[in-house]
Structure 1
Amino acid sequence: MGGNIFLVGLMGAGKTTVGRALAKRLNKRFIDSDHEIEERTGASIPLIFEIEGEASFRQREAEVIRDLTAQHDIVLATGGGAVLNPESRAFLKERGTVIYLRASVNSILQRTSHDKNRPLLQTADPRKTIEELSRTREPFYNEIAHIVIDTGRPNVQFLMQSILSQLGPEHVPTEAHASLQQDHQSLSKYSMTSQLSSTADTLHVDLGTRSYPITIGQSLLGDPAVLAAHIVSSRVAIVTNTVVAPLYLEQVSKTLTAAGKQVTQIVLPDGEEEKNWANLMKVFDVLLAEKCDRKTTLVALGGGVIGDMTGFAAAAYMRGVPFIQVPTTLLSQVDSSVGGKTGINHPLGKNMIGAFYQPQAVIADTSTLNTLPARELSAGLSEVIKHGAIIDAPFFDWIEANMSKLVAKDADALAYAIKRSCEIKADVVRQDEREGGLRAILNFGHTFGHAIEAGMGYGVWLHGEAVGCGIVMAADLSHRLGFIDAVSKERITAVVKAAGLPTVAPDLGTERWLELMEVDKKNEGGQIKFILLKPLGTSVIMTVPQEVLLQTLNACIS
């Protein structure tokens, strides 16, 4: 019916990721049935399960499946249990092409192990639960499936090719076959290269139609199947800086050229002080001079400064073009590349001019950390510490125990720190994309940190160094208000110091400190808002008595 494609399979099988890529490729509209339920109810799936129970949720799900399958020319990712309803199975089978994405229990367990938004997996034995779900649901998947695709290979592009090669002409127009064949040959040519990323982890930032994957792994920059998988257009503009360009620009350019892309290179000066209007204009100058159209994809190749500026440029150029984050620093891999915050600095305040604009994907090649200077690595560790402190006390414990490995660039330790940080941030962003409330907790330490950066002059302290010191100051303030005990305060100070970060703030003068902290996006009505710990592992957003704030300033400055 109407060229519809319906994806079914267990949770974690990749329905949303594959569905979104498939919809872009076939110029269809993508819909996720779980997101549609949340839109209609205004509540998250876990909350519906908790308040109404599974039976009520299944009824809502059946109504959504009935309505959505009646639409035309869509790619629909269904919930794992949608097939339990006989009427839903009938609608799916009769109204479109059903693709069953089949995944092993081990694969699903790995992909969902840290996902707190799967109500059925909040059990003492998730493996047993998945095995039972697979046993009871697989007959229904097979009953209605027109195509079965095994998703054991964690590479979206290859899954796409497998699906496209089996779809009929109602989905893949005749004129697209030549392009499809060319893509297949290109992927076959680089199949050996793609093995490099076979152990990559893929997480998801679930934001409805703006959702996107985060791929974390080694040697991803040389893999066309990974790098080009999220670039639909033939035109690409890579934005980088003078430090990263000699290391990775040619490699990424060659990878994209080999995938059939026309590449434009834009190299900006390096440094936080360069995150300004003049350099933003340089990006636009090149895009316009090269006649880049609205289908051009911008690729941010670099750290947080490049990511923020490229994202802002993408949001503004022709009122919005696609962009991809390829972070090459620890700080950008664990924090700034995820969540869609973009912008530039102003002399009166950091990140005060910008936009919320989500990337198409984040590709974090952990191999790039091998060339990262020790100071930059330490700067990134501040954001890792932040994630544990505000929301995940066991993760903070792990950071404490493994800080020496992180500083020594132990590959396994860094991979876990990046993955867990991205999971935490992705979940917060999913709940509060535009920082209307909860997302502000991600600014723990930043009120003090941004004041340090602006007060010292952008670039004198690295952003992560300022945030690290800000974390110590926020912990001191939390202790003075009775929110955390002295032991927790000392633990935070010690782990920041062990990361190689400053723990003593610069003396900017009390009036200057207050003036700088008053210029902050979180503030309301002229009141300075702080993210504080209450206790370690949880956080609150609040104003504080000025006399207590002054005590912290006096105690923490040099």
Structure 2
Amino acid sequence: MQQNIFLVGLMGAGKTTVGRLLAKRLGMRFVDSDHEIEARTGATISWIFEIEGEESFRRREVETIRDLTGRSGVVLATGGGAVIHPENRKHLKARGTVIYLRASVNNILQRTMHDKSRPLLQTENRKEKLEELARQRDPLYREVADIIVDTGRPNVHAMVQSIMAQLANYQKGQTARKQKKQPANRTKKVQTIMKNSDTHLEVDLGERSYPIEIGADLLTDTALLGRLISGKRIVIITNTVVAPLYLETLTRSLEAAGKTVQSLVLPDGEKEKNWTSLMKIFDFLMEHKCDRKTTLVALGGGVIGDMTGYAAASFMRGVPFVQVPTTLLAEVDSSVGGKTGINHPLGKNMIGAFYQPEAVIADTKTLDTLPDRELVAGLAEVIKYGAIIDMPFFEWLEDHIGNLLARDRDALAYAIRRSCEIKADIVRQDERESTGLRAILNFGHTFGHAIEAGLGYGEWLHGEAVGCGMVMAADLSCRMGWLDATLRDRIRALVEKAGLPVVSPALGTERWIGLMQVDKKNAGGEIQFVLLKTLGEAVVTPVPMDLLSATLRESSAAGQESV
């Protein structure tokens, strides 16, 4: 492990809280530079600012950080403005591994709402001041950072666990960091890949909280399955593709854990995600006299997971269920968050319910048998997370898309874990899309769902439609004057490099509009799109019809040319 660890980031980003726990986990000494300054002067930071001024405080800060970074075995939480002084940046970069705890302005506002001890926030418009500080300091944080961590995680323990995993894979020492230093115009992000593929995450929803377990050979882990899947009676819902591969293995493991197991095998395919298949599940449960203590287990991809979840939400007004996803798309997206449902001929996922599973058990070894086309389709949802909220992750994907396509186990494990972390945090903040935050997870989906419905469910895989939809959404974002052309082209290039379609079918503008008008996000008769202000920042908004029509015409024209 690195000799020293230095935490940087805006005030309220969690440097002290994370630093204390990280130091305890690593057996290192924790120091807070602001607290050290107060101890040395016998005065509070606020008093120093008020009586001596900020310039005097910064001089003291330079002396303190010079001293503290010269020690060994230290986890140091720096003040939010420490990176302003070039001498501090020099010492931080040279004497340890720097972790940038990145937090959104809104999160910091919530955390510092009642804090009177921060001199720079003693202003009428705290949000405006924080936005100004973020603009000024973010480039400096990135300059010194070896690792960037978003602090909007379900809980501090999950975040520290994530940091531990990244630290364990980061090259030790100053020499290795210099050898791997990125060009100046690129974020110096974590370029290493997880070597320990076993991961435990938590979706923090109070009484409805549940774990996500990610790792290899979980389907044969009798102890884990017995602990996470409650009840003695289990009904596994799967399909004709997955059943021959994994149904016997899972059944045997559950029986070894003392469970009584029955199973229902449904036809495979998106076109089977309908009322008829849902009734088959209900028929099976009724015929076998299942009760409220029966636990349903969804063994398969997104279609099986969505239908099983909806059946669990509805049968006897709610029975427990567990997601056991076997596709990349399901492992990174559909199994997490509690959205369940079926398709209607006029619209995708228009009938369903919010209903959280008891656990998500993602056995990454099931991806070994996943067809190449399905693997590529899953990458669309992975790319989505980087585009909407995590630019460093997007950059990581640009650098490692080849590893993912080659089914590198460590690369896939990292991509799955990071995707689940992002989604779990968004779900924690907006479980039922009541604030609009969760809606950003639908980036590319308004166009994508229209493609699926317009061509007929199953003609394009869901991920293929979403991939193309993200390219169209990026183009529309550019036309809105938000996303610059360079970033738009990077999104298109990554989607194309992943092997996903980047031109849409020629449905005709009128047909496009009609299909997109049947969308769950729409409000007041207006079509709502998830667009990008910039890479890593998404917004839900209506758009002018002339700009939408231009995007549809250009994408469809490209599609006709490619035929």
1:51 counterpart (107, 113, 125): 113
Output the aligned Cα RMSD. Answer: 2.6
Distance (whole Å) between structure 1 residues aligned to residue 262 and residue 157 of structure 2: 47
User: Is the Cα contact below 8 Å between 1:385 and 1:396 reproduced in 2?
Assistant: yes
Q: Which residue of 2 aligns with 1:396?
A: 394
2:491 maps to 1:492? yes
Residue 468 (str. 1) matches residue 504 (str. 2)? no
Q: Which amino acid aligns with 1:442?
A: L
CA offset at residue 321 of structure 1? Answer: 0.3
Provide, for residues 346-369 of structure 1, a one-character-per-residue CA deviation record: whole Å limited to 9, x for no partner. 000000000000000000000000
Give the match's secondary structure for 1:547: helix
**Residue 513 of structure 1: aligned partner:** 512
Q: How does 1:427-446 map to 2 (within 5 A)?
A: 427-436=425-434, 437-446=436-445
1:414-458 Cα shifts (integer Å, max 9, x gaps): 000000000000000000000121000000000000000000000
Query: Partners of 1:287 and 1:367 in 2: how far apart?
Result: 30
Q: Is the 8 A contact 2:197 2:414 kept in 1?
A: no
Q: Is the 8 Å Cα contact of residues 114 and 423 (structure 1) preserved in structure 2?
A: no
Write the letter of the residue equivalent to 1:321. V
Shift of 1:50: 1.5
Q: CA deviation at 1:342?
A: 0.1
Q: Secondary structure at the match of 1:51?
A: coil
SS in structure 1 at match of 2:241: coil
Aligned match of 2:503: 504
Equivalent positions of 1:15-414 (< 5 A) are: 49-53=111-115, 115-117=151-153, 200-414=198-412
Letter in structure 2 aligned against 1:221: L
**1:458/1:54 CA distance change after superposition, 3 Å:** farther
The alignment's TM-score, normalised by the length of structure 2, stands at 0.67
- Report if aligned partners of 1:273, 1:458 keep a CA contact under 8 Å in 2: yes
Q: Are the aligned partners of 2:151 and 2:159 in contact in 1 as well (CA < 8 Å)? A: no
Displacement after TM superposition at 1:48 (Å): 5.2
Q: Deviations over 1:380-401 (max 9, x none)?
A: 0000000000000000000011
Contact 1:295 1:321 in 2 (8 A): yes
Where does the alignment leave 5 or more consecutive residues of structure 1 unmatched?
1-9, 13-43, 56-111, 128-196
Letter aligned with residue 276 of structure 2: A
CA-CA distance at 1:200 after TM superposition: 1.8
Distance in structure 2 (CA, Å) of the matches to 1:113 and 1:555: 38
Partner amino acid, structure 1, of 2:284: V
* Cα distance, 1:53 vs structure 2: 3.7
| Cα distance in 1 between the residues matched to 2:487 and 2:335 | 29
1:253-306 per-residue CA deviation (whole Å, 9 max, x = no partner) reads 000011110101010000000000000010111111111110100000000000
The Cα of 1:45 is off from its aligned counterpart by 9.1
Q: Secondary structure at the match of 1:52?
A: coil
Partner SS for 2:202: strand
- Aligned partner letter, 1:207: L
Is the 2:158–2:201 Cα contact (8 Å) retained in structure 1? no
For 1:52 and 1:120, locate their aligned partners in 2 and report how far apart those are by CA, in whole Å. 24
Deviations 1:313-336 (A, max 9, x none): 000010000000000000000000
Say which SS state the counterpart of residue 416 (structure 1) adopts. Answer: helix
How far did residue 121 of structure 1 move? 11
TM-score by length of structure 1 reads 0.68
Q: Is the 8 A contact 2:198 2:213 kept in 1?
A: yes
Q: Which runs of 5+ in 2 are unaligned?
A: 1-19, 23-105, 118-147, 165-194
The residue identity in structure 1 corresponding to 2:491 is: I
**Which residue pairs with 1:542 in the alignment?**
541
Amino acid at match of 1:301: L
Shift of 1:231: 2.3
Q: Distance in 2 between matches of 1:46 and 1:207?
A: 21
Note if 1:415 corresponds to 2:380: no
Counterparts of 2:370 and 2:116, CA distance in 1? 48
Identity of aligned residues (%): 65
Which AA in structure 2 matches 1:420?
A: R
Contact 2:197 2:413 (8 Å CA) reproduced: no
Cα distance in structure 2, aligned partners of 1:295 and 1:445: 39
The residue identity in structure 2 corresponding to 1:449 is G
**Take 2:340 and 2:480, find their aligned partners in 1: how far apart are those partners?**
33
The answer as to 2:524 corresponding to 1:532 is: no
Whole-angstrom distance in 2 between the partners of 1:49 and 1:348: 44
> What's 2:44 paired with?
none
Letter in 2 for 1:357: Y
Q: Are the counterparts in 2 of residues 49 and 119 from structure 1 also a CA contact under 8 Å?
A: no
* Partner SS state of residue 433, structure 2: coil
In 2, distance between residues paired with 1:470 and 1:370? Answer: 27
8 Å contact from structure 2 (residues 196, 410) kept in 1:
no
SS at match of 1:324: strand
* Residues 409 and 287 of structure 1, relative CA distance in 2, 3 Å threshold: same
Q: How many residues align?
A: 394
Question: Residues of 2 paired with 1:394 and 1:522: CA distance?
Answer: 28
C-alpha distance in structure 1 between counterparts of 2:453 and 2:296, whole Å? 29
- Relative to structure 1, the CA distance from residue 551 to residue 119 in structure 2 (aligned partners, 3 Å threshold; closer, same or farther) is same
Tell me, what secondary structure is at the counterpart of 1:533?
strand
Q: 1:231 to 1:11 in 2, by over 3 A?
A: farther
Aligned to 2:481: 482
Q: Retained in 2: the 8 A contact 1:441–1:540? A: yes
Are the aligned partners of 1:221 and 1:255 in contact in 2 as well (CA < 8 Å)? yes
